[in-house]
Amino acid sequence: MLITLKAARVNCGYTINEAAKLVGVHMQTLSKFEKDSSKMPLSLLKRVAELYHISEDNIFFGNENEFIRTLRKK
């Protein structure tokens, strides 16, 4: 099952500011990747996946709006 970065963060109970500090990036950087994770560096992906306790394989890569449109079609 795929999940967006934002949904994974919210499921763990972190604010965007808290999560950004814990993975070592600016809040705006993490926010940018929550909206479109297609160009997220692998090193950041690994830190985020570990923080959110999810497998990298379960993270949706791409534009968050595309993910939502795909879910609505199902």
**What pLDDT was estimated at residue 71?**
64
Give the sign of the dihedral formed by CA 61, CA 15, CA 50, CA 72.
negative
Q: Do the beta carbons of residue 24 and residue 47 sit within 8 Å?
A: yes
Q: At residue 73, does pLDDT exceed 80?
A: no
Tell me the whole-structure pTM to 2 decimals.
0.83
**What pLDDT was estimated at residue 62?**
84
Helices 42-52 and 5-12, packing angle to 10 deg: 30
Tell me the pLDDT tens digit for each residue of 31-54: 999 999 888 999 999 999 999 999
* Band of residue 74 on the pLDDT scale cut at 50, 70, 90: low
